């Protein structure tokens, strides 16, 4: 029970922090929607993710595990379907320069935006799990 509650809190924080860092994640509706999205994400990770891991065993074996991140992308996509107030939108990075280094503007399409969003949420929640290990 403690693991589930901790996962819920980490998922809520991961979604919130990722939405603060990436303009591709939009959570409209405030904190109640964020807590609902965290609960739905926790349920998806507990129920759907193990099923997807079993279904994707052949793809995981063929790619030596390199496409295992695809499962997290599917979970985040399902989150956007189940909680309509959480959306992933395309975004254009405006570019910039700093001390002689310049970065060109880059357009993130919807698939790239959902991949970046899921990777960031996964990195944040995994880091929190690692830090909180007993």
pLDDT in tens, the chain (134 residues): 788 899 899 999 999 999 999 999 999 988 999 999 999 999 999 999 999 999 999 988 998 888 888 999 999 999 999 999 999 999 888 888 888 888 888 888 999 999 999 999 999 999 999 998 86
* Beta-ladder partners of 106: 93
What is the rounded distance in angstroms from the CA atom of residue 44 to the CA atom of residue 75? 7
Predicted pLDDT of residue 134: 61
Q: Are 95 and 103 in contact (CB under 8 A)?
A: yes
Predicted pLDDT of residue 93: 85
**CB atoms near residue 97 (< 10 Å):** 9
The predicted model scores a pTM of 0.87
CA 30-91-63 angle, 5° bins: 100
Predicted pLDDT of residue 99: 86
What is the rounded distance in angstroms from the CA atom of residue 59 to the CA atom of residue 55? 9
């Amino acid at each position: 029970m403690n693991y589930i509650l901790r996962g819920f809190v980490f998922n809520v924080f991961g979604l919130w922090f990722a939405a603060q860092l990436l303009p591709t994640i939009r959570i409209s509706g405030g904190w109640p929607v964020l807590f609902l999205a965290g609960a739905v994400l926790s349920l998806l990770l507990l129920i759907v993710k193990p099923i997807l891991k079993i279904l994707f065993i052949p793809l995981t074996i063929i790619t030596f595990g390199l496409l295992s991140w695809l499962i997290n992308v599917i979970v985040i996509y399902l989150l956007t379907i189940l909680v309509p107030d959480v959306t992933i939108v395309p975004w254009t990075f405006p570019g910039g320069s700093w001390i002689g280094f310049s970065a060109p503007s880059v357009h993130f399409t919807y698939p790239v935006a959902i991949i970046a969003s899921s990777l960031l949420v996964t990195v944040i929640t995994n880091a929190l799990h690692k830090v909180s290990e007993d």
